[in-house]
Amino acid sequence: MRTVSRTFSRRGILGLGAGAAAAATLAGCGSSTSSDGSGHAAGSGGGNDGQGGDASAPQGKLIGDGSTSFTGKQPHQPGQPEPLEPGQTPPQFVVFSWDGAGEVGNGLFPRFLDLAKEHGASMTFFLSGLYLLPEDKKRLYQPPNNKIGASDIGYLNNEHVKATLTNVRRAWLEGHEIGTHFNGHFCGDAHTSVKWWTPQQWHSEIKQAKSFVQNWKTNTGFTDLPPLPFDYEKELVGGRTPCLLNQQNLLPTARELGWRYDASSPGGLQTWPTKLHGLWNFPLQAIPFPGKKFQVLSMDYNMMFNQSQNSTKAPAYNYPAWREQAAGAYIAGFKRAYFTNRAPFFIGNHFEHWNGGIYMDAVEQAFKHIAQAKEKGADVRLVSFRQFADWIDVQKPEVLAKLRTLAPGQQPTGGWKTFLA
């Protein structure tokens, strides 16, 4: 069984919380997968690798070599979004997103699909294109500034490619968004890093990421799996760069391709979003870190770095306290937004068992806390980035401008009825 390698990068950010400066250490890494075999058995959707899926779902109109297909409107989508009425309290939007979105037999992809299904939630999965490309076809990948076939996250074996395909298919049919985490995940400061890619090189990377999704049947030779049930040219409207690097050069290309948002910015605040280069900027956010005077980025990797300084296998006696601290950070971020400015809350994750899997447990604990608030009557909406973009697109510019005046942790003067009168 092949173990997929990972390269981490370190770089600092500065976070500001509730109007005060706070050191929120480290920007996030991108996705990887590990093959340690530990994980949770899946519920609906098959065994612990998520294989099985929904073989009875219609295949629709095949596209290209039959790797993808058009099956009509995506199921399980919210109703038509409407602008806020005068004096109306904004909903609390929460987006859980996943970098890489590969399934390597540890059961993490189906685990969170099951969790979302149980609570009627949608998420965004930023798929790494290489996770659908077999290693014996790696020379099809020509990464900018790198050797042909190079990758800092390796390649999946055939069974894991199949498991990833099955879970991506299931995710879309259950209402989740499939974005992109691009391909080779090159970080750091070396000339090979995405940090130095030009807009034209980003265009090449995106074209290849699309191709690996749109031609997996040709590239793998698999005949025992149905097509992905979406047209990726239309489905792909946003992504997150490896290690949150080089958003500035990606954005012109993303705009040219008709994308609607980008989620690559590190160190954002819990405030209402703005647009950059015509795209919505949905950054990871600085949130309270229990027991610390600084804030932390709303991503599992950053929790891990602050707790174990980039060690993914720290001594186990730390795990219980770290798990609660990580879950507490997500919950604190949610509460701060919900009880004050109602800014959307963005969370980034990886299907990883870092430090004994405590961050997966922390994410699940926080997710359940937020979902229970919704189920008890709070106007909380667990959505994908694309669904949130649909909602914010129909809001009146003057209303959004007013919402942006609220800092993290700042309540509307006179309450929402007065503030948005």
Dump pLDDT digits (tens) for 11-62: 333 222 333 333 344 444 543 333 332 222 223 333 334 444 444 455 689 9
| Residue 12: per-residue pLDDT | 32
| Residue 34: per-residue pLDDT | 35
Q: What is the mean pLDDT of residues 218-233?
A: 97
Q: Check residue 52 and report its DSSP letter.
A: B
**Phi, psi dihedral angles at 126 (to 5 degrees):** -90, 95
What is d(CA 213, CA 127) in angstroms, rounded to the nearest whole number?
9
Q: What is the mean pLDDT of residues 205-218?
A: 98
For residue 232, tell me if it sits in a domain.
Answer: yes
What is d(CA 393, CA 386) in angstroms, rounded to the nearest whole number?
10
| Residue 53: per-residue pLDDT | 42
| Residue 63: per-residue pLDDT | 97
> At residue 180, does pLDDT exceed 80?
yes
| Residue 40: per-residue pLDDT | 26
- Six token digits for residue 132: 């659908």
pLDDT in tens, 85-95: 999 999 999 99
| Residue 325: per-residue pLDDT | 98
What is d(CA 399, CA 418) in angstroms, rounded to the nearest whole number?
13
Q: What is the mean pLDDT of residues 140-165?
A: 97
Q: Which residues of 357-393 are buried (b: 16+ CB within 10 A; e: fewer)?
A: bbbbbbbebbbeebbebbeeeeebbbbbbbbbbbbbe
- Domain containing residue 206: 60-419
Q: What share of the chain is helix, strand, coil (3-state, %, to 5)?
A: 35, 15, 50
| Residue 57: per-residue pLDDT | 57
What is d(CA 324, CA 291) in angstroms, rounded to the nearest whole number?
11
pLDDT in tens, 352-389: 999 999 999 999 999 999 999 999 999 999 999 999 99
What's the farthest any 2 CA atoms get from each other in the chain? 63
What is d(CA 180, CA 207) in angstroms, rounded to the nearest whole number?
11
DSSP reduced 3-state for 260: coil
Paired residues of 127 in beta bridges: 100, 180
Q: What is the mean pLDDT of residues 210-230?
A: 97
| Residue 8: per-residue pLDDT | 34
| Residue 93: per-residue pLDDT | 98
For residue 342, tell me if it sits in a domain.
Answer: yes
| Residue 48: per-residue pLDDT | 39
> At residue 78, does pLDDT exceed 50?
yes
What is d(CA 41, CA 47) in angstroms, rounded to the nearest whole number?
7
Q: What is the mean pLDDT of residues 212-237?
A: 97
pLDDT in tens, 122-139: 999 999 999 999 999 999
Q: What is the mean pLDDT of residues 163-186?
A: 98
Task: Say which CATH number the domain at 254 has.
Answer: 3.20.20.370
Which secondary-structure segment (H or E) carries 390? Answer: helix 385-393
What is the pTM assigned to this prediction?
A: 0.89
| Residue 310: per-residue pLDDT | 79
| Residue 267: per-residue pLDDT | 81
Closest C-alpha among 261, 352, 371, 373 to residue 299: 352
Q: Is-contact 354 38, C-beta < 8 A?
A: no
| Residue 147: per-residue pLDDT | 97
Count of the separate structural domains present in the chain: 1
Annotate 117-173 with DSSP letters as a single string. HHHT---EEEE-GGGGS-GGGGGG---TTS-TT--SS----HHHHHHHHHHHHHHHH
Paired residues of 63 in beta bridges: 68
pLDDT, the chain, mean: 89
pLDDT in tens, 246-303: 999 999 999 999 999 999 998 899 999 999 999 999 999 999 999 999 999 999 999 9
Annotate 264-287 with DSSP letters as a single string. ---SB-SS---EETTEEE---BEE
For residue 48, tell me if it sits in a domain.
Answer: no
Q: Is-contact 315 386, C-beta < 8 A?
A: no
